[in-house]
Amino acid sequence: MVSSVVGDLERISEKVVNIISKKKNFIEKNNFIPVYHDNLVFDFSRQHINASILSKLIQLSEECGLRKKINGLFEGQGGSLHIQLRSQEKNSKKSDDELYLKINNEKKRMLAFATKVRSKKLKGWTGKPITNVIVLGLGGSVLGPKFVIESVDAEFKLTTTTLYFASNPDGFELKNTLLQSNPEKSLIIIQSKSLTTPELYLMFSQVKQWFEAHSCPKFKELNQMAVVTSNIELALKLGFLQDTVFWIPKFVGGRFSVWSSIGLPVAIAIGRNNYNSFLEGAADMDQHFLLEKASTNIPLLAALIAIWNQNFLKFKTQHVATYSSKLDFLIQYIQQLEMESLGKSLKTDGSPCLTETSAIVWGGSGIQGQHAYFQLLHQGTSIVPIDFYGLHPSYRVENRAEKKGHNFLCENLKVQADALAFGDPKNNFPGNRPSSIIWLKELSPSSLGGLMSLLEHKVFTMGILWGINPFDQPGVELGKKMLKK
């Protein structure tokens, strides 16, 4: 990070660390009020930060050329096209160009196919309607869609189609899924940007054997399969049907691709209108990131706080705690999004990074963690910043028993955040453990789209400040190359 304020921030951070080492509480001086946007609330009042520090962090982002990079991202020059995949009318300044038309046409094809599956008009080889969808994929090809489908409220699904995900080629996970499914009524969706991932071919072989074992004619096996990939040529060469092969742009990393045809399982689960709401929620957060002033720009604030904790206060890990079982799949999604995007040691110009980049992201269910590893978070020798994710106290719960459970979880989340921040020094709970709370007021497609867009922009901002490319993953590619040898 090249900026005139780095030295100032380093000197301030030394003072903060000194205060913490003397077991004096720095957090109590923080009087920031939560920032609201649509159905999301961002509360960072328990971080080791004050108005002066925040002002210098904002100056740091400005001197790193963030504004120019943001403008480039929205104009399709940022090295990824995920912005252009959602509500392009809002976010693309070239809404009539060839790329936009191709993206829009592919979205229409994908949504038409999803509607065909949902309406039971897609039939298996015996003429029975498809009722099960089994998605094969790894990493970004499935983590985003799986999070959305598991998290969105049931009222937005309204489908009798059952969706399963399988990622492990050891055979056990997929075998259990196949045992629950009728091959005559099952659609297999293979999701892979490159379509060269070896794990997929092992699962693909297992599925083919399953079809054959249930007397599916060999020439009809591929009729019950769909493929989502950027490698259209290879998909067709392997014999997959053109009508069920869906394109995704090559310059969209898997972890940013849920807005493309990789979102096919999401569209099947929630339907055309709700899927469009999902994209609109993301586009709305895009506009917030693009236009909102720095002091209330949630993705920017989240990124600057992470930079402050990682580079200046020297906290090496980041914990994610979810306080709703509906959000538990968020952790894997964030782990890939942050560590695959930011786990780099070289800058975009090829020079080595002289500052620490991605923190080690870990986490789990907060209520489970309280009875497991929260001991370390409260009294361990390492300070671990925490991002709490929960359903806002105003979240609508109609069932009385569920309402009690919801209130209990909300109270636990707030109590844990306060206990970590302020502690109980008389009983050797030092406090000064920083955290942020991200509340969701609803689990609608729109609010989940907004949350995922927020997290993407946070990662993008951190990448710009570190001078690294958040859209490639050379370490992943190296492993694939070595496996082929």
Q: Which residues does 153 contact at the CB level (< 8 Å), separation at least 6?
A: 326, 442, 443, 444
Residue 192: phi and psi, rounded to 5, are: -160, 125
pLDDT on residue 95 = 47
Q: Does residue 94 carry a pLDDT above 60?
A: no
Q: Which residues does 348 contact at the CB level (< 8 Å), separation at least 6?
A: 467, 468, 469
480 is catalytic: yes
85-89, 114-118, 140-144, 368-372: least confidently modelled range: 85-89
- In CATH, the number for domain 83-271 is 3.40.50.10490
Q: Would you say 316 and 361 are in contact if contact means Cβ atoms under 8 Å apart?
A: no
pLDDT on residue 340 = 96
Per-residue pLDDT tens over the stretch 294-325: 999 999 999 999 999 999 999 999 999 999 99
Q: Does residue 291 carry a pLDDT above 60?
A: yes
Nearest to 181 by CA among 137, 133, 126, 225: 133
In the chain, domain spans: 6-79+292-482, 83-271
Choice among 184, 340, 442, 456 that is catalytic: 340
Q: Would you say 135 and 142 are in contact if contact means Cβ atoms under 8 Å apart?
A: yes
Residue with tokens 């453990």: 433
How large a percentage of the chain has pLDDT more than 70?
A: 95
- Common-topology check for domains 6-79+292-482 and 83-271: yes
Per-residue pLDDT tens over the stretch 364-420: 999 999 999 999 999 999 999 999 999 999 999 988 889 999 999 999 999 999 999
Q: Which residues does 280 contact at the CB level (< 8 Å), separation at least 6?
A: 86, 87, 446, 449
In terms of pTM, does the model score above 0.85?
yes
Per-residue pLDDT tens over the stretch 20-50: 887 777 776 566 899 999 999 999 999 999 9
What whole-number distance in Å separates Cα of residue 128 and Cα of residue 126?
6
**Residue 276 carries which side chain, given as an amino acid letter?**
N
Choice among 29, 121, 316, 480 that is catalytic: 480
Burial of 15 (0-12, 13-18, 19+ CB in 10 A): exposed
Q: Would you say 281 and 453 are in contact if contact means Cβ atoms under 8 Å apart?
A: yes
Q: Is the dihedral of CA 112, 117, 123, 125 positive or negative?
A: positive
Q: Does residue 281 carry a pLDDT above 70?
A: yes
- Architecture of domain 6-79+292-482 in this structure: 3-Layer(aba) Sandwich (3.40)
Q: Would you say 253 and 472 are in contact if contact means Cβ atoms under 8 Å apart?
A: yes
Burial of 404 (0-12, 13-18, 19+ CB in 10 A): exposed
340 is catalytic: yes
pLDDT on residue 88 = 52
Residue 238 CA to its chain's centroid (Å): 31
Longest dimension (CA), the chain: 74
Residue 417 CA to its chain's centroid (Å): 23
Q: Does residue 328 carry a pLDDT above 50?
A: yes
Choice among 22, 371, 481, 484 that is catalytic: 371
Per-residue pLDDT tens over the stretch 406-443: 999 999 999 999 999 999 988 889 899 999 999 999 99
**Token representation of residue 33:** 């009020």
* Mean of per-residue pLDDT scores for the chain: 93
Burial 86-97 (b: 16+ CB within 10 A, else e): bbbebbbeeeee
- Stretch (H or E) spanning 283: helix 264-291
Per-residue pLDDT tens over the stretch 8-17: 999 999 999 9
Count of other CB atoms within 10 angstroms of residue 392: 17
Residue 171: phi and psi, rounded to 5, are: 95, -25
What whole-number distance in Å separates Cα of residue 78 and Cα of residue 100?
16
Q: Which residues does 271 contact at the CB level (< 8 Å), separation at least 6?
A: 114, 115, 118, 158, 159
Dihedral of the CA atoms 52, 58, 63, 64 (nearest 10)? 130
Rounded to the nearest 5 percent, the helix, strand and coil shares of the chain are: 55, 15, 30
**Residue 369 carries which side chain, given as an amino acid letter?**
G
